[in-house]
Amino acid sequence: MKVKLALLFVSLVTFLAVSYFDQKPTTIFKPNVRLGTIDLSGKSWPEGTALINGIFTKPVYLNTQNTSRAVTFPEIGISLNRDRLFRYTRVCRVITPPLFCKNTSNEPVIADELLAVNFAKLDAYLDSLETELAYIKNNNIINFDDYSFRTLSPDAVIKIDRSPFADRAAIAKVINEERIKIDLAVETEDDFDLQHTETQALIDKITTPLLIKYGGTPIYVPKEQMAAFIYTQEINGLMHGFISASRIETYLKELMPKYESDDVKLLLTDAVTAVRRAILYRAADEQVNQAVILPIEGLPRTNGELHDAYLEVVKPQQRLYRFEHGKLVKTYIVSTGLTWDTPAGAYKVLGKQKMTISYFGNWYMPYYLPIGKIFNTYQFGFHAIPYHMDAAGNIYSRDENTMGSPATGGCIQLRYEEAKELFEWAKIGIPVYVYD
């Protein structure tokens, strides 16, 4: 037994001696060496430095006020302290398990000291961001999360919350092996009275009457009602305007008994959202000439089985239904006749003309599909929103706000892309039904 133990001891000593003298020393990282979420413990020097180097070459995304900028850490003054990094290693003769190791340095491991930060360069970059963000005070700010808006006075000051870059420890916290994203909050300082005055002026601009389309019926929401949709609230020293969903819903419910029918049923929740969005867009660019087509649940008059493929227009809805193989394939918002009513009846596509001209005012009508005649005299059909050219060559297009309510001289107009789609799909002879 003693002989066996002696032989085992001699073998172990021999193995360790051979390992010590035959293997080249290898540099590995000490235990508990981390930078952010990156754990370097026990990794070899080449492996660990390759991992760290990747952090300083890949993009870092700085997100501020609906914009994002891609930079690298060195571009904004943040780099790796290689001297400190090397001090957190040890040299071992045997790697698995690590034996005969000698520390490069006996200093305690402090992760954020692996970073070298040029704070003057970093601050200069953040200063430049604040300069760029000065545009905020010249533009109205909207928020689709809560349908709020605000505007600032010319004296407003825009600042960035710099806490993610406060010191090396704060910077180290954002470092990871995946995509590095740093959200920089934008802080605004403004004189409350001046900012309140600017906000009230904006509200006055965006509450001019709004045109809404309820089926085929155009309705102008008066200014006093528009103003009633908005309320204000002070938040963090700034006045915000909010567009009330409940007030718009109440108003639309009051319209429903008058305008709703079997053919026109309002999708109330979607309609409220459509009106809120229209007002919020007004707050964004102060353009007030956009109409809102209220979403309705309009049912076609037929079940799709009249023909293998056909079209159906329901005038009270201002909708065109396209049927194929017994199924409703698509619904289009259209505009039917105003100066001359689009006559109800059974028709068919008589031809296809990529462009035609109405000689009543020289209106050009792209993607024209004639289907019949009004008073057995004037031809009518489907076409894109028309445009007119005067003697000087100036082009005037019919306003897209006409979509969703009667607007034409008897034809059925569609938006340009949808008219093109219908033109390319339709075959000569396709049946068309128009219902009152």
Among 283, 284, 298, which residue's Cα sits nearest to residue 213?
Answer: 298
Q: What is the mean pLDDT of residues 149-168?
A: 90
Percent of the chain at pLDDT > 90 equals 50
Q: Where are the alpha helices (DSSP H) in 107-244?
A: 119-132, 168-173, 192-206, 223-228
Q: What is the mean pLDDT of residues 382-402?
A: 83
- Structural domain includes residue 428: yes
Shared domain for 202 and 109, answered yes or no, is no
The CATH number given to whatever domain includes residue 412 is: 2.40.440.10
- Tokens representing 161 are 């919350």
Shared domain for 40 and 82, answered yes or no, is yes
Give one DSSP letter per residue of 48-82, joined into a string.
Answer: HHHHHHHHTTS-EEEEETTEEEEE-GGGGTEEE-H
Predicted pLDDT at 95? 65
Shared domain for 210 and 288, answered yes or no, is yes
C-alpha–C-alpha distance, residues 129 and 113, integer Å: 27
Please, what is the average pLDDT of the chain?
88
What are the two backbone dihedrals, phi and then psi, of residue 433, each rounded to the nearest 5 degrees?
-120, 130
For residue 414, is pLDDT > 90?
yes
Structural domains of the chain, count:
3
Shared domain for 330 and 420, answered yes or no, is yes
For 242-290, how does the pLDDT look when each residue is reduced to its tens digit (9 = 90+)? 999 999 999 999 999 999 888 888 989 989 999 999 999 999 876 677 7
Predicted pLDDT at 16? 47
Predicted pLDDT at 363? 84
The CATH number given to whatever domain includes residue 243 is: 3.10.20.800
Predicted pLDDT at 262? 80
Predicted pLDDT at 11? 52
Shared domain for 82 and 198, answered yes or no, is no
Omega within 30 of 0 (cis) for the link into 209: no
Q: Contact at 8 Å (CB) between 403 and 334?
A: yes
Among 100, 101, 99, 103, which residue's Cα sits nearest to residue 89?
Answer: 103
Name the pLDDT band for 19 (thresholds 50, 70, 90): very low
227 versus 58: the higher-pLDDT residue is 227
Shared domain for 218 and 327, answered yes or no, is no
For residue 3, is pLDDT > 80?
no
- For residue 238, the cross-strand partners are 235
Please name the residues in contact with 251: beta carbons below 8 A apart, sequence gap of 6 or more. Answer: 221, 225, 228, 229
For 91-112, how does the pLDDT look when each residue is reduced to its tens digit (9 = 90+)? 987 666 777 788 888 888 887 7
Q: What is the mean pLDDT of residues 218-244?
A: 95
Shared domain for 317 and 424, answered yes or no, is yes
Shared domain for 288 and 318, answered yes or no, is no
Domain residues for the domain of 325 are: 309-435
For residue 291, is pLDDT > 50?
yes
Shared domain for 236 and 356, answered yes or no, is no
Name the pLDDT band for 67 (thresholds 50, 70, 90): confident
Among 206, 197, 253, which residue's Cα sits nearest to residue 230?
Answer: 206
4 versus 55: the higher-pLDDT residue is 55
- Structural domain includes residue 184: no
For 186-220, how does the pLDDT look when each residue is reduced to its tens digit (9 = 90+)? 888 889 999 999 999 999 999 999 999 998 889 99
Shared domain for 256 and 203, answered yes or no, is yes
Q: Contact at 8 Å (CB) between 342 and 410?
A: yes
Shared domain for 275 and 323, answered yes or no, is no
C-alpha–C-alpha distance, residues 62 and 43, integer Å: 30
- Structural domain includes residue 323: yes
- Structural domain includes residue 301: no
Q: What is the mean pLDDT of residues 124-131?
A: 92
Shared domain for 239 and 369, answered yes or no, is no
- Structural domain includes residue 217: yes
What are the two backbone dihedrals, phi and then psi, of residue 2, each rounded to the nearest 5 degrees?
-60, -35
